[in-house]
Amino acid sequence: LARDQIHNFAAGPSPLPQPVLEKAAVGLLNYDGTGIGVCELSHRGKEFKGIIEGAEANLRKLLEIPDNYAVLFSQGGGTTQFSSVFLNLLAYRRLKHASDANYAPPTIDYVVTGSWSSKAYQEAERLSIPPAPGAKPFAEPRIAATTKPAKFTTLPKADEYNFSPEAAYVYYCENETINGVEFPPAGSQSPYAFPFDRVPEGVPIVADYSSSFLSRPIPQIERHAIIYAGAQKNLGPPGVTIVIVRKDLLVDTTEAMKLGGVPAVPIQSEFKTLADNKSLYNTPPVFSIYVSALVLEYLLAERGGIAGIAETNSAKGDALYSALDEAEAKGKLRVVVKEKDARSLMNITFVIEGDREKEFLEGAEARGFRQLKGHRSVGGIRASLYNAVTLDSVKALAEYIKSF
Ligand code: PLP
């Protein structure tokens, strides 16, 4: 099949824009007339320096990232950030209490709204295990709010959060890729908006933006301590993870380790080391960064920047959800997330009624719709509408759903 014969609704790795792939194919063979492919050039040479610096500048421009935040190109995927944010923020906390002879393990407040925030919470629990039986744990992760009883089909309302006064940090996942819930834009008046104002003053806020990064503006970056996102949804191929971190949180973790009471921090996970070395402490994932740089250029030049992207994504979401709501009213299917404000625009989940899922998927396949099967842990159907999925593809899927 040719690429233009199919509509790819993959949840990630997700489709990339055709013009970007065409450019990347050329660069893979011969970067900018050097006679050398981009993956064969030194990551310390001027060509790659130009690529990574250009990517950072364009990302700052697209998302209006304030100057007091560092932008890091890290490795190990979103999963590595589950531990990196824990390790760096505990080290930061320890250094702030450097003279405290009775340093006590801090609480950490997790907002658990789906599979990915659950995994992040579990990793914090695992890394908190005391260094020896009977010793103090490194931290006390707790759940500040959760929608687990509702099977992660909605979000907490502001008064359902129970933050602790002096947590090492508060953690949430902006868009739950598997379950299909997404916080309304930061600062919105919706009852499901993340309640920044309820977080005790001075407590750092961490957000996993992996699957909604670059889908719309992030209006309250400065309310966050750290925002991170794996590339493989809206940015580029898997391999690089962007970490946006407030500069005062870039601490020397070795100094914290010497004080005791914190876990060992592998050097590759230390944000300060990455920042001091402009993300080139060790060999970076050059191909992923290169394609991401091309995507960023493309988003600015061809897609109307972040406002243009957000507008298209909103139209895509409206087209699909209205077809789904119509089909639900006829008893054909069930949309997983009922509250409109809690619905994800990137990952739309639904369940076909009447034992007809196989029939639905076969019909979809025959029409060129690909990768619609829900995550293996929850089943059902999931249509992911990342930036490279066109409004026309979404309208075609909506028509199929209406006719099913
Ligand atoms: N967080 C979210 C919201 C995700 O969607 C994913 C992966 O899909 C991850 C974290 C984990 O990312 P990775 O597979 O890059 O480790």
Domain boundary assignment for the chain? 50-296, 305-403
Per-residue pLDDT at 219: 87
Ligand 1 centroid distance, CA of 201 (Å): 29
Per-residue pLDDT at 285: 98
Q: Quick one: which atom of ligand 1 is closest to the CA of 238?
A: 15
Calculate the CA 306 to chain-centre distance.
Answer: 16
Assign domain 50-296 one CATH number from 3.10.310.30, 1.10.3720.10, 3.20.20.140, 3.40.640.10: 3.40.640.10
Longest CA span, the chain: 69
- Do the two domains 50-296 and 305-403 of this chain adopt the same fold? no
Ligand 1 pocket: which of 211, 288, 349 to mutate (most atoms within 8 A of CB):
211
Which two structure tokens, joined as six digits, stand for 56? 């950072």
Residue 42 DSSP SS3: coil
Ligand 1 neighbour 268 (Cβ under 6 A): no
Mean pLDDT value across residues 156-167: 96
CATH numeric code, 305-403: 3.90.1150.10
Average pLDDT, the chain: 97
Whether 187 has a pLDDT exceeding 90, the answer reads no
3 state SS for 300-333: HHHCCHHHHHHHHHHHHHHHHHHHHHHHHHCCCE
Ligand 1 neighbour 180 (Cβ under 6 A): no
Q: What is the pLDDT of residues 388-402, one digit of tens each?
A: 999 999 999 999 999
Per-residue pLDDT at 179: 96
Per-residue pLDDT at 142: 98
- Is the complex ipTM more than 0.95? yes
Ligand 1 centroid distance, CA of 116 (Å): 7
Against a cut of 0.90, is the pTM above it? yes
Ligand 1 neighbour 210 (Cβ under 6 A): yes
Ligand 1 centroid distance, CA of 88 (Å): 19
Ligand 1 centroid distance, CA of 78 (Å): 5
Runs of H (alpha helix) within 31-166: 46-63, 77-96, 115-127
Which two structure tokens, joined as six digits, stand for 6? 């199919």
Smallest CA-to-CA distance from 372 within 344, 397, 339, 391 is with 397
Whether 5 has a pLDDT exceeding 80, the answer reads yes
**Does the CA dihedral 152-196-226-238 come out positive or negative?**
positive
Whether 186 has a pLDDT exceeding 80, the answer reads no
Q: What is the pLDDT of residues 25-80, one digit of tens each?
A: 999 999 999 999 999 999 999 999 999 999 999 999 999 999 999 999 999 999 99
Mean pLDDT value across residues 187-197: 92
